[in-house]
Structure 1
Amino acid sequence: MTYALCGLRVASELPLPELLPWSGEDRPADIEIIIGDVPGRLEDPLHEGPLLRTARDGTCLYTIAGTASYLVEGGRRVTLQPHPGASAPTVRLFLLGSVFGFLCHQRGLLPLHAGCVEIDGKAVAFAGHSGAGKSTLAAAFLRRGYHILADDITVLDMTAPGGPLVLPSFPRIKLWRDALEGMEIPFRDLERIRPELEKYHLPVTAGFRSTALPLRALYHLKTAKDRRHAGEERLRGAMSMEALVDAVYRRMSAFRMGQRDAVMAALLRLMAVPGARLARLMDIGQVDATVMDIVARHGAGAGLPE
């Protein structure tokens, strides 16, 4: 089976319903995912931790007890060995999460822990830690007719001639039950991301932008305790770099793969993209107002706050 992911052709022995089928030219796969035996150790180790082991050539060995072991090589090949009793959704969750992040770093792409939407033909991304509201914000944009490029991992090609380019990733949004209920989205027929969690995959095939777009702005989401602390603040200089470093998906893993210099060089280039801190109330009733403010700010040539 072959799938599309960030413009790459993925050949996988494991069914990946989260991805769209490959519809491009018939060419060799950019990434292969096979099911097989995975070693317990790596030769010439650079880092050995409880979950992640890396070798000096950048190879990764990632093990989630009770789920699977993943061997990630050269940004092109993943060998996975499911553990006894592991559910397929859980195996895919880590494959299309952390393991995908390792692949991006190996390929010289920059993954951010961010969602991303299209506004006026350009990409606008929203970075933040788990629970910051990235997926809820993406779903609110989708509900208003805007296209989604990414939900949780926004992948940037930092070598594109016109500046950072967002490569569309997954045509789905992962949402907790309370967010789905708050936005009156039916969830009974949706697949859980893990059997034990009340978090679901919301397919967005019709609202997915499958073509790469230039990155126009990057917001860093923060939680505001009350309205006095809500709002936007433009980031520059050291504050901008600090926020960007914090936004890199699987940053410490990349450093342990020997990618520190490559990541920091990419972030220096990313500083050219306008960035702002967006502190917002974690109130589902306010999310549409946030969407309207952002759309107004990025329409008709408007820019980020000074």
Structure 2
Amino acid sequence: MHDRSTHIRRVKYTAFGLRIASELTLPELIPAKQGVGEDVVIRQADLSAWRDQLEQTNFVMQGERFMFLIPGTAIYAIRGGQEIEVSMLPGADPDTVRLFVLGTCMGVLLLQKRILPIHGSAVAIGGRAYAFVGESGTGKSTLAAAFRQAGYQMISDDVIAINVTASAAIVYPAYPQQKLGLESLLQLEGLRENRHVRQRKHVLSLTDDNPVRAQYRDLRRIAGEFNKYAVPAADKFYNDPLPLGGVFELVSDSPNRELMREGESVAVTEQPLNKLECLHTLLQHTYRRVIIPRLGLGEWYFDTAARMAPKVEGWRLLRDSSFFTASEVVQRVLELIHKEEKSYGSH
């Protein structure tokens, strides 16, 4: 094969614990030093010969290559956990092209590398990573933004890369950007203006020093997403691997059902997950999980999740969906983590 590297410039980035050399400009990612090696190469290629076949099916497996087509955007091929090829279609929007490179392509590539991608957001708290998963619309990104506003650092939004070793589950940071709806941005701004402050350790602290971005007109709308915007998060981004401390599954509960804790009505309450429930939650919220059998990774996938479940604590958080509960959820999460830390210390 002809080596194009002698005349095609590649920019170096880091994301998901990987060193990435890309022919496509990826402004969302953190630049890396040009002298370092690379784990992944992203290159432009002509994959038009596969277009007719891909239009008849969702994807094509060709040896180590997983290929798929996004109509009007690009044909993508991911090979061996080492290479992403992008064949842009005429008139494609570059933002949309990158959206699938950093989403589905990276999810497939992580699976090929035997790194488990979980669909959710992750935040650094007390030297550990905590993952927030749930169905679409349950507030994963909004909660991560509320944590950032409270002074905590985000690790990932949308795809959480987890390497499960014999002794731990390690979360690799993604890149410093969030996807937030306009309603969430407005609610978070209102939350900041209310100056909610808690003085106790490990409990929410929202101050004027942590403003949510107010210049909505300067934010880029995410292609294909209704009223969602790309929000930079470089000021509160944690860019080192961390052990996974716990998983919180967010559930929007019916406002007609009264949420109770210790006999009192509350906006959010929790249910601890046993190991089997934690395993089910991890399997349910794996990123692009329908692809896994076609990659021949079904056995590895289940075994990895089964080894991971006993290593982390799990909770299901039920929140009243009739009003904005981000600050209450943040506070309850921190209380649960602090309680867990005290429990560890007593053993």
Same fold (TM over 0.5): yes
Give 1:88's aligned residue. 94
**What is the match of residue 60 of structure 1?**
66
The 1:198–1:289 alpha-carbon spacing in structure 2 relative to 1, beyond 3 Å, is same
| Alignment partner, residue 4 of structure 1 | 14
1:290 equivalent among 329, 339, 342: 329
Matched, 1:168 2:206: no
Per-residue CA deviations over 1:76-127 (Å, capped at 9, x if unaligned) read: 1011011111111111111111111000000110000010001111111011
Cα RMSD (Å) of the superposition? 2.3
- 1:33 equivalent to 2:38? Answer no
Question: What is the CA-CA distance between 1:39 and the residue it aligns to?
Answer: 5.1
Aligned to 2:24: 14
What amino acid maps onto 2:253 in structure 1?
A: A
Matched, 1:192 2:192: no
Give the structure with higher Rg (CA). 2
Cα displacement (A) at 1:128:
1.6
Matched, 1:121 2:127: yes
Structure 1 residue 49: Cα displacement: 7.0
Tell me what 2:153 maps to.
147
> How far does residue 240 in structure 1 lie from its aligned partner after superposition?
2.6
1:103 equivalent to 2:109? Answer yes
Q: Which runs of 5+ in 1 are unaligned?
A: none
Secondary structure of 2:223 counterpart = coil
Q: In percent, how many aligned pairs have the same letter?
A: 34
CA apart distance, 1:38: 1.4
How big is each residue's C-alpha offset from its partner over 1:131-186, in whole Å with a ceiling of 9 and x where there is no partner?
22110000000000000000111110112x54000000021110011111121242
TM-score by length of 1: 0.91
Q: Would you say the 8 A contact 1:54–1:61 is kept in 2?
A: yes
**Farther-moved stretch of structure 1 (263-272 vs 222-231):** 222-231
Aligned position for 2:201: none
- TM-score computed with the length of structure 2 as normaliser: 0.80
Contact between 2:48 and 2:87, CA under 8 Å: does it hold in 1?
no
1:231 partnered with 2:269 = yes
Flag the 1:89–1:284 CA change in 2: closer, same or farther, 3 A: farther
Superimposed CA distance per residue, residues 202-250 of structure 1 (whole angstroms, 9 cap, x where no aligned partner): 1111100000000000011111112525521112244332222101111
Contact 1:59 1:257 survives alignment (8 Å): no
Uncovered stretches (5+) of structure 2, i.e. residues with no partner: 1-10, 190-212, 260-267
1:48 & 1:258 partners in 2: Cα distance?
Answer: 23
